[in-house]
Amino acid sequence: MRCSRGGDFSNGQLQPFGNIEVNPSAAVLNYGQGLFEGLKAYRKQDGNILLFRPEENAIRMRNGAERMCMPSPTVEQFVEAVKTTVLANKRWIPPPGKGSLYIRPLLMGTGAVLGLAPAPEYTFLIFVSPVGNYFKEGVAPINLIVETEFHRATPGGTGGVKTIGNYAAVLKAQSIAKAKGYSDVLYLDCVHNRYLEEVSSCNIFIVKDNVISTPEIKGTILPGITRKSIIEVARSQGFKVEERSVTVDELVEADEVFCTGTAVVLSPVGSITYKSQRFSYGEDGFGTVSKQLYTSLTSLQMGLTEDNMNWTVQ
Ligand code: PMP
């Protein structure tokens, strides 16, 4: 779907997956004026297809668009476009328990500009791909390294929205960590180099004495939809959940650590390395609280339990 600056994204149409033509002077290519989203569709035992809170992705894209000086689809247009794309690709959705269909909406400034300015024209598109587990470890514990040299986001920057430049910022740190055998990188705040922020593509939680803590949303981390859902599920199960500043020192004493995200779902963290010290978690790395929340969330997403939160959409 294309539209002008003040435009309307209601003229969508399906087309086969393939290359798209972009002007070399497009704002997205030159100035990073682009946003994306990620969500999943699951196939249920009865054949029905479930989406998980797609309107939350729509709202996040709209918030990001405001920060990036872009027009954006309405929540209804976004959800309708997701549904239409998923239904047209139904045959690619893996059978129950074998994975999901990853849905990637993109919003970008495709109009040509030369001097730095928002584009005069925008494109919203969605592509999909069947996926299995995000980390090669599957749901087995992952190993993180705390990054002390590189930062993902700065106060007043774009860390709180899902813009493409944030991911450019993490490529180097992530490549170095992977080459050393770590699954991913845990970032610290860039002012004190002391407070936990998030992982390259997921949010972080620690559990200590059954209290669950996660860094609060204050502009430098992405407000994850899985993060929000886990907080709500945990509270509904009687856990105390704190959204606050979490220091890197708290990793030493934590009983469990896990990350959340659409792609990673809920991944237990088996170990974290910080300044050459390695901290390990849980007996088999998948602690009791993490496992309980993982089961509750995935049962909801896959339609294995009744959706008493009213989060899934057919
Ligand atoms: N942080 C970052 C940087 C991410 O890319 C993602 C994935 N979207 C998340 C957190 C988790 O967000 P969500 O649960 O909405 O997928």
- For the stretch 122-173, pLDDT in tens is 999 999 999 987 666 667 899 999 999 999 999 999 999 999 999 999 999 9
**Residue 10 located in a structural domain:** yes
Q: Are residues 197 and 106 in the same domain?
A: no
Q: Are residues 123 and 148 in the same domain?
A: no
The share of the chain scoring above pLDDT 90, in percent, equals 86
Query: Do 177 and 152 touch, CB atoms closer than 8 A?
Result: no
Q: Are residues 32 and 124 in the same domain?
A: yes
**Residue 254 located in a structural domain:** yes
**Residue 159 located in a structural domain:** yes
Q: Are residues 15 and 155 in the same domain?
A: no
> Residue 31 sits in a domain of what CATH number?
3.30.470.10
Nearest alpha-carbon partner for 304 in 45, 95, 48: 45
Q: Are residues 280 and 194 in the same domain?
A: yes
Q: Are residues 69 and 154 in the same domain?
A: no
Q: Are residues 184 and 121 in the same domain?
A: no
SS3 229: helix
Chosen domain end from 78, 102, 131: 131
User: What is the largest distance, in Å, between two alpha-carbon atoms of the chain?
Assistant: 57
pTM to 2 decimal places: 0.96
Q: Are residues 291 and 146 in the same domain?
A: yes
**Residue 306 located in a structural domain:** no
Q: Are residues 147 and 181 in the same domain?
A: yes
Pocket test for ligand 1, best of 170, 217, 226 (most atoms within 8 A of CB): 226
ipTM for this prediction? 0.99
d(CA 211, CA 45): 35
Nearest alpha-carbon partner for 96 in 139, 41, 53: 41
Span from the CA of 198 to the centroid of ligand 1 (angstroms): 9
Which pLDDT belongs to residue 139?
A: 75
The number of the ligand 1 atom at minimal distance from the alpha carbon of 228 is: 14
Residues with CB under 6 A from ligand 1: 38, 198, 201-203, 222, 224-227, 260-262
Domain count within the chain: 2
Which pLDDT belongs to residue 204?
A: 98
**Residue 202 located in a structural domain:** yes
CA 35 to chain centroid: 12
> Residue 291 sits in a domain of what CATH number?
3.20.10.10
Nearest alpha-carbon partner for 107 in 117, 119, 92: 119
Would you state the torsion angle of the CA atoms of residues 189, 170, 105, 14, taken in this order, to the nearest 10 degrees?
180
Query: Do 230 and 293 touch, CB atoms closer than 8 A?
Result: yes
Identify the domain containing residue 122 by its residue range. Answer: 2-131
Q: Measured on CA atoms in the order 28, 32, 35, 39, is the torsion positive or negative?
A: positive
| Encoded tokens for 289 | 């609280």
